[in-house]
Amino acid sequence: MSYRKEKVLSLTGTEVNGLDRSALQEQCALHLNEKMHGICFSPYEGEQEPGDPISEEQIRRKLALLAPHAKWIRVFSCTEGNDQIPILAREYGFKTLVGAWLGDDKEKNEEEIQRLVELARDGYVDIAAVGNEVMYRKELEEAELIDYIQRVKAALPNLPVGYVDAYYEFTNRPLITEACDVILANCYPYWEGCHIDYSLLYMKQMYYQAKQAAGSKPVIITETGWPSSGESLGAAEPGYENALKYFINAQSWSQKEDIPMFYFAAFDEAWKVGAEGSVGAFWGIWDHLERRKF
């Protein structure tokens, strides 16, 4: 192991908080060049939003940017052109966590489930995620979600199958936890108003709560991140340097502890403002013009 890599992995949260901007940028670059475990991938650009046509060219262009910096990508949907992503990702050397996006539209849910199973049977899925925060959004009943999970497990007996939601849902909903092969937990200190100085400690607590609920099952952090701009939420302040600090702390800890983590997100996307307010457009490591921010 080189000295530079050791320097990246040995920094504590306190040490990171004491770095100036240029030193933070250097540490961020070192992490990216060492390849992080995974990153959340969404292909939309400009004024595009879910449901709009997405081209093979734009997917390829974005995957090529990410390929030197991540081993896995997470895909959120299997319809409306998103099913191209895991197929193309294989060409760029990625492993894939592929999700069926579920909601209150039962017909659309069937399309998502069917395409997820097809992609997995064709060899384009390494981990299957059945739904994303659908309990948090209250768009399905618990029994309905469990039925979808069981159907996918039956169709894909040799593939790990799980469900993605906030870390605490796996404590609150043990039947869902029991139905999953792998626990896919979203951990966001920002969305719970945590100050950046305590965000790493809080994220660890989130992870270990999910770990306790999981028992012997593996736990993957499927989303975590910090916005680089936008309005504050309680003590959580967006900002360029805070986003850098959080990224470095999260990567250092997850690598040291060998915890699989998908960082949110690859690119800034304007459409997310509608659901999340001003911070919605600023979660990316790359900006909306595909320039690396850090």
| Three-state secondary-structure class, residue 184 | strand
| Three-state secondary-structure class, residue 130 | strand
With residue 106 as reference, give the H or E element that holds it.
Answer: helix 106-121
Which tens digit of pLDDT belongs to each residue from 27-41? 999 999 999 999 999
- The angle formed by the CA atoms of residues 117, 121 and 125, to the nearest 5 degrees, is 75
- Say whether pLDDT at 2 is over 80: no
Q: What is the pLDDT, as a whole number, of residue 1?
A: 29
Q: Which amino acid is at 188?
A: Y
DSSP state, 261? B
Q: Where are the domains of the chain?
A: 3-281
How far is the first Cα of the chain from the last one, in angstroms, to the nearest whole number?
24
Which tens digit of pLDDT belongs to each residue from 244-280? 999 999 999 999 999 999 999 999 999 999 889 999 9
Task: Give me Rg for the CA atoms of the chain.
Answer: 18
pLDDT-derived band of residue 5, with 50, 70 and 90 as boundaries?
A: very low
Q: What is the pLDDT, as a whole number, of residue 18?
A: 81
Q: What is the pLDDT, as a whole number, of residue 13?
A: 65
- Say whether pLDDT at 26 is over 60: yes
Q: How many residues does the chain have?
A: 294
pTM of the model: 0.95
In the chain, the percentage of residues whose pLDDT exceeds 70 is 95
CATH superfamily of domain region 3-281: Glycosidases (3.20.20.80)
d(CA 1, CA 248): 19
- Say whether pLDDT at 11 is over 80: no
Which tens digit of pLDDT belongs to each residue from 109-142? 999 999 999 999 999 999 999 999 999 999 999 9
Q: What is the pLDDT, as a whole number, of residue 221?
A: 99
Residue range 52-61: mean pLDDT, rounded: 97
d(CA 244, CA 228): 8
d(CA 267, CA 290): 7
Find all residues with CB under 8 Å of 77, minimum gap 6, and list them: 50, 99, 100, 101, 112
d(CA 218, CA 73): 18
